[in-house]
Structure 1
Amino acid sequence: MPLSGDPHIVILVEGRSDAAAVAVLLSAHGLDGEGWVKLVPMGGVTNVARDLLKSREEHPEAVVLGLYDLAEQRYVLGALQRSGVPLEAPVDLVEHGFFVCDSDLEDELIRAVGTAAVEDALDELGHLEGFRTFQYQPEWRDRSLNDQLHRFAGSGSGRKVALAERLAVRLDAATTPPPLAGLLERVMQHLDASTPSHP
């Protein structure tokens, strides 16, 4: 069991927007108290080997979990193999605590809440007018609304993080995307096992 003050769980995510969304859900489920969970934005999945090793060195008693994009699975596989985890094909990385987003977490969130809710969130953030202008750019005019929202969410300083938070608060048990639902369930399982006082 981790020492007092050490996290019981470390969660590796690609960037700040992923961390923002996961933090909202951890808080909503009462899983962010007492320093139980440490979120680590890696600044890109290519850093997963470094941050996996660092997390295990700094918190040897903690369980390391993570989110990753399907197209970047090879980086997670390589990181786990280099850390000494025996992996054989075919590999289900869920068994090792890593949950896959079909495209990326932003796409999962947009599909989960629906495009109308995303436009509502953009309106709350004061970005809806900018999005309408973006939609008429020649290279995006004929793309699907989902694609337009996904691209717009990733542009602009701070927009990606703020929108991720606004979309995460709109999720409920029925709409939480599978990778996030699986991650939350694994967090709860480990906290129940390692924290007697955890409800």
Structure 2
Amino acid sequence: MTEPLPDGAGESGSAVARFEHAAAMWSERAGAVPVPVPPEVAGALLVEGASDRAACREASRLLGVDPAAAGVAILPMGGAMSVRRFVGLLRPAHLRLHGLCDAGEAGFFERAGLDAGSVSVCRPDLEGELLRALGADRTEAVLAREGDLGLFRTFQRQPAQRERPVLAQLHRFLGTTSGRKEQYGRVLTEELTPSELPAPLREAVESAVRP
């Protein structure tokens, strides 16, 4: 679902925000006419979905950088298989491109023409990186703050989950309800200090905004 148009900071930020909104609408319609890339957009960070975008935005805040003000759009693609379509849209505008993806999806980025230095790979995925960075106790504290700890305790009692490590249970729990990954992509990242950010997430944000 396309989100409301965000407010950008300054002329460049506003142009980037409008482009992010237009690209999101374009990505939802197969065969749609490509959207024009405004001159204010100098680069793009290509991410798989909304949870990755939420984490990138929060990581940017923690690192004290503003991708929109730097002319960098953060573009969720609705899955790694769409990366070739996005690269086809953006390459003619000669943008700096960087990708953030799960380990199992890195091949899609490679086949779309992004070299290894232009892709930050999460192992096995962004949620796994964030959970390792926080650990089980801190993650459960976030769940309690968000009102989901009771639901997680019920989830842990399911027969398929009882013998699994807590981090594995948490990883599965984050994917059980629509919208939960996006919510926790933001709040788990928010819980970290800049030095605790997972390396792929930090690298993706810093590489995208680097001149």
- The reply to whether TM is greater than 0.5 is yes
Say whether 1:133 aligns with 2:154: yes
> What's the offset of the Cα at 1:109?
0.5
**What TM-score results when the alignment is normalised by the length of structure 2?**
0.76
Aligned sequence identity (%): 35
Aligned residue number for residue 13 of structure 1: 47
Write the letter of the residue equivalent to 1:24.
Answer: E
Q: How does 1:96-107 map to 2 (within 5 A)?
A: 97-107=118-128
Paired residue secondary structure (2:46): strand
Report if aligned partners of 2:77, 2:86 keep a CA contact under 8 Å in 1. Answer: yes
Write the letter of the residue equivalent to 1:104.
Answer: D
> What's the offset of the Cα at 1:4?
7.4
Write the letter of the residue equivalent to 2:159.
Answer: P
Report if aligned partners of 1:5, 1:35 keep a CA contact under 8 Å in 2. Answer: no
2:85 aligns with one of 30, 50, 53 = 50
> What's the offset of the Cα at 1:35?
6.2
Write the letter of the residue equivalent to 1:12.
Answer: L
Q: CA, structure 1 residues 49+34, in 2 after alignment: closer, same or farther (shift >3 Å)? A: same
Deviations 1:97-118 (A, max 9, x none): 1111110001000101111121
> What's the offset of the Cα at 1:183?
1.6
Aligned residue number for residue 11 of structure 2: none
Structure 2: gaps (5+ residues)? 1-36
Paired residue secondary structure (1:66): strand
Report if aligned partners of 1:15, 1:43 keep a CA contact under 8 Å in 2. Answer: yes
> What's the offset of the Cα at 1:139?
0.5
More deviation, 127-136/173-182? 173-182
More deviation, 118-127/100-109? 118-127
Q: CA, structure 1 residues 63+164, in 2 after alignment: closer, same or farther (shift >3 Å)? A: same
CA distance in 1 between counterparts of 2:170 and 2:104 reads: 20
Structure 1: gaps (5+ residues)? 86-91, 191-199
> What's the offset of the Cα at 1:184?
2.6
CA distance in 1 between counterparts of 2:170 and 2:136 reads: 8
Q: CA, structure 1 residues 170+184, in 2 after alignment: closer, same or farther (shift >3 Å)? A: same
Write the letter of the residue equivalent to 1:148.
Answer: Q
**What TM-score results when the alignment is normalised by the length of structure 1?**
0.81
1:66 aligns with one of 99, 115, 120 = 99
Report if aligned partners of 1:7, 1:37 keep a CA contact under 8 Å in 2. Answer: yes
Paired residue secondary structure (2:194): coil
Segments of 4+ moved more than 6 angstroms: none
Deviations 1:60-100 (A, max 9, x none): 142111111112222111111xxxx7xxxxxx602xx1111
Deviations 1:98-149 (A, max 9, x none): 1111100010001011111211111121111000000000001110101100
Aligned residue number for residue 175 of structure 2: 154
- Give aligned pairs, total: 175
